[in-house]
Structure 1
Amino acid sequence: MTTTYRTAALLAAGTLTALLAAPAAAAAPRPDGPALDGSGECTFPMKKQIEGIPWPLQRVLLDELWQDTKGKGVRVAVIDTGVDDVNPQLRKAVDAKAGKDYLKPDKENPGFGDEKRGKTDGTVDDVGHGTKVAGIIAAQPRKGTGFVGLAPEATIIPIRQNDEKNSGKSDTMALAIDHAVKMGAQVINISQDTTQPLGPDSPMARAVARAIAKDVVVVASAGNDGMDGAQKNTYPAAFPGVLAVASSDRNNERAAFSQSGDFVGVAAPGVDIVSTVPGGGQCVDNGTSFSAPYVAGVAVLLRAKYPEWSAAQIVARIEQTAVRSVKGRDPHVGWGVVDPVRALADIGPGTPPSSPTPDPGPAKPPVPEAARLALTETPQERSERLATYALGIGAVLVAVVAGTAVVIRDSRRRRGVR
């Protein structure tokens, strides 16, 4: 049995559109960069780049984040709508030879640009979604833009498994996961979801289990159906061992569209997210689709820095170092909003726990010690006390004697006695 996939990505005027809907007509570009249309998409390629540093990167000290590694040597599979390797920020990052396309060629729309016609290596991306996902992970620095991926030296394995027609199925997703493992992926990003329940014996569940058994970190978006506030599982995010990612906003709170549920592991920025588009340039979009690769980028850096760590330890580290808004786990943002720098900070000797379940909330502050009540005094204190008493008594006696003398003198004067 197969399940139609939706790519968790797009928003329209406060309401969720049909995910991966056909792109609407774009608005005219603004002088300061690409314009958004009603769905959050943009035309591509973009002739103008977004110059400023996107807000999620403004919160990250990149020099500190990259002091040990930029992800070199780590292979991460992006199972999506394809990954364009023409965009200058991704050209050197994409391993087209390892890629694969699980969709039949579209004769009416064979691919972006003439150079893409007939390609079956996963580098066709008519939608732009997969290219945005890949850029958040591994876009390399480029003059004229402040946008860069969290792991700019990582290698992307492009796998095209879905398109604007929602052609992706659970069975082809299973094949894509197996291909990613075969091609040496150490991290797999899946920014797609279905709410149809999938049991442990489904092809995709078994493929996910095989990937985790091969020590692959599997990161998946939680989905964008959270506007109604209902908690429900989405797949593959809710499969055991998968790190499910919700979206957070600029206030580190759950984005209104982000799906909630007990399966959510962490949250990451998912509102007004800048990333690469096919052909060149960048665009802005919203969704848990773009929160997941943010976390996948952190996982890539951890795999590069700690190659001896297991996938479960990588997940545990990301969860444990997240910024928590409540004690323990929350169904809206999981263990909190991912903190890349904190996750990559040196931890000293030893390794994280083998279980991905982190400690339940921050440690309680120590209880202040009660003040000691002394029932006796030291000899010095006693001497000082007695000396104070003696001075006080002496002053009183002097005052009494002086007062008595004045009274006697006045009495004699009144009687005429001299």
Structure 2
Amino acid sequence: MATTFRTRTILATTAATLLATVLSAPAATADSGSDQCTFSKTNHKYAGTPWALQRVNLDELWSQSKGKNVKVAVIDTGVDTTNPQLTHAVNGSLGVNLLPPKDSKHQPVEGAKSKPTTDTVGHGTRVAGIIAARPMKGTGFVGLAPEATIIPIKQNDAEGHGTATTLANAIQHAIKVKAQVINISQDTANAVTPGDDLHNAVNEALNAGIVVVASAGNDGLGGNVKKTYPASWDGVLAVAASDRNNERAAFSQSGDFVGVAAPGVDMISTVPKGGHCSDNGTSFSAPYVAGVAALIKAKHPKWTPREVVAQIEQTAERSIAGHDRLVGWGVVDPVRALTEDDHPIESPRSDAGLTHAEAPTPAKLTLGETPQQRTARIATYVAVGVGVLVAGLSGGAVAARDARRRRRALEART
């Protein structure tokens, strides 16, 4: 029986559900228009700046890198290039549609013969937008790596026709077209361990110098801890979801395999045809980190996957020293990842990312009077001495005068 894969999103389960689901807008900025998510050219734009981008100084970030010419393979449900923010971000000629023409019951699969630049589900279009959406007038939403190139690899759909075999084939295609980063926002259903073909494909991508980023999973409610694949394999950067407080989102999967966390709640992104919608899930945390990986690869093209991953982990924002099973090494900090990069590293340090408060400067211990007190005392002595001297001189002068007067009076009588 083939191992099936599911896309990692809280709200997207079927194409019909996606088209009808009411999505909440982030509280950080006002949303314009209806919050009903539809796939049409008249779909509203998000006028403000999403909270996940408000936490980043984009000018400082982009002064270091914009991800120019870095190819990011998005293995997902396709990427719709009719959204104007993705039209020039996607290279459809390098993409591929790997969906089988028929399912196990020999029924036609919707979209099986379509191009990888179409997306009836909207999941892959959201993922691609978070990575590399181009700036556009009228919205504050933009991809973290707005000069990176998206390679769309359609491997899954709303019915979950993606398997370990098709995912392995998708990774092989990404290797063939020389992608530098691979984003996988899906995992095996029921945390089933896939076969060797998929694991071998992941290792082959890593050996080819490709950074592999995967979502950790959305089954974290109730403290559920379990491995997910391909996220939990060595070398893959597993991404959990964080909220506005830099804490683990309640749904986010926990485990020792988690590398870092990234925003995954109320994530604004592009949808098919045009405009934006909000969604939740580690599906949208992973591309946030994949965008950072693209920025690093553009600035440091010779860095290995291990060095890129270690850089992201080391510069993440942490509340404790070392690794945490909830958010890994911390919540990704794009600016620090691009500015604290003097030399490559192989693994993060336990104390990296923590803010150490400086101890207050102790007061100097002085036995007796301080220099200031001594100066004041001497000044007082001098003032008193001068006063006494003046008084003594004045008194002496008066006594001498009186003595002269008495002597003259005595001489006059005699």
TM-score in same-fold range (> 0.5): yes
Aligned-partner SS, 1:23? helix
1:357 equivalenced with 2:348 (yes/no): yes
Trace 1:42-191 onto structure 2 (pairs within 5 A).
42-47=37-42, 48-105=44-101, 110-111=110-111, 118-120=113-115, 122-191=116-185
In terms of fraction of residues, the more helix-rich structure is 2
2:401 aligned partner: none
- More deviation in 137-146 or 101-110? 101-110
Distance 2:164 2:6 in 1: 11
* Structure 2 counterpart of 1:192, one-letter code: Q
- Measured against aligned partners, the alpha-carbon deviations of 1:52-97 in whole angstroms (never above 9, x if no partner) come to 1111111111111111321111000000011111211111111111
Matched residues in 2 for 1:184 and 1:386: separation?
A: 83
Measure the CA separation in 2 of the matches of 1:146 and 1:363: 30
Q: Note if contact 1:137-1:152 (Cα within 8 Å) is conserved in structure 2.
A: yes
Question: What is the DSSP-based 3-state SS (H/G/I as helix, E as strand, rest coil) of the residue aligned with 2:288?
Answer: helix
Q: Residue by residue, what CA displacement relative to the aligned partner does 1:255-288 show, whole Å, maximum 9, x if unpaired?
A: 1111111111111111111111111111111100
Deviations 1:175-207 (A, max 9, x none): 1111101111100000001243427x6211111
Give the deviation of 1:373 after TM superposition: 5.9
Give the deviation of 1:144 after TM superposition. 1.8
CA distance in structure 2 between the aligned counterparts of 1:285 and 1:27, rounded to whole angstroms:
10
| RMSD (CA atoms) | 3.2
Aligned residue number for residue 211 of structure 1 = 205
Which letter does structure 1 place at the counterpart of 2:14? A
Name the amino acid aligned to 1:207. A
Aligned to 1:272: 266
Q: Does 1:196 align with 2:191?
A: yes
The structure with more radius of gyration: 2
Partner of 2:251: 257
Return the offset for 1:372. Answer: 6.8
Q: What is residue 9 of structure 2 aligned with on the other side?
A: 9
Change (3 A) 1:380 1:307: closer
1:385-400 equivalences in 2 (<5 Å): none
- Native 8 Å contact 1:46 1:277 kept in 2: no
Q: Shift in Å at residue 309 of structure 1?
A: 1.6
User: What is the SS of the residue equivalent to 1:71?
Assistant: coil
Name the residue aligned to 1:412.
Answer: none
Runs of 5+ consecutive residues of structure 1 not aligned to the other structure: 12-18, 37-41, 112-116, 393-418
What amino acid does structure 2 have at the position aligned with 1:339?
Answer: D
- Determine the C-alpha separation between the residues in 2 that align with 1:110 and 1:378: 88
In structure 2, distance between residues paired with 1:143 and 1:329: 41
Looking at structure 2, the residues matched to 54 and 43 of structure 1 have their Cα atoms a distance apart, in angstroms, of 19
Any idea what SS the aligned residue of 2:240 has? strand
Counterpart Cα distance in 2 of 1:28 and 1:196: 29
Per the alignment, residue 405 of structure 1 pairs with none
Query: Amino acid of the residue matched to residue 5 of structure 1?
Result: F
Aligned residue type for 1:20: T
Structure 2 stretches of 5 or more lacking a match?
Answer: 26-30, 385-414
Contact 1:32–1:50 (CA<8 Å) still a contact in 2?
yes
Seq. identity, %: 58
Q: Among 232, 244, 247, which residue is 1:238 paired with?
A: 232
Q: Distance in 2 between matches of 1:334 and 1:210?
A: 25
Q: Counterparts of 2:199 and 2:7 in 1: how far apart (Å)?
A: 18
Q: 1:213 to 1:377 in 2, by over 3 A?
A: same
Q: 1:105 to 1:283 in 2, by over 3 A?
A: farther
Q: Equivalents in 2 of 1:342, 1:28: separation in Å?
A: 36
| Compared CA separation, residues 57 and 365, structure 1 to 2 (3 A) | closer
Cα distance change of structure 1 residues 385 and 263 upon mapping to structure 2, 3 Å threshold? same
Aligned mates of 2:374, 2:33 — CA distance in 1: 81
Separation of aligned partners in 1, 2:16 and 2:35: 14
Q: Aligned to 1:248, which of 231, 237, 242?
A: 242
Secondary structure in structure 2 of the residue aligned to 1:193: strand
Q: Which amino acid aligns with 1:164?
A: A
* Mapping of residues 309-348 of structure 1, within 5 Å: 309-347=303-341
Contact 1:319 1:358 in 2 (8 A): no
Q: How does 1:277-296 map to 2 (within 5 A)?
A: 277-296=271-290
Q: How does 1:394-409 map to 2 (within 5 A)?
A: none
CA–CA distance in 2 between the matches of 1:273 and 1:356?
Answer: 29
SS across alignment from 1:82: coil
Give the direction of change, closer, same or farther, for the CA distance of 1:109–1:211 in structure 2 (3 Å limit).
Answer: closer
Equivalence for 1:406:
none
CA distance 1:285–1:27, shift in 2 (3 Å): closer
Give the TM-score, by structure 1 length: 0.80
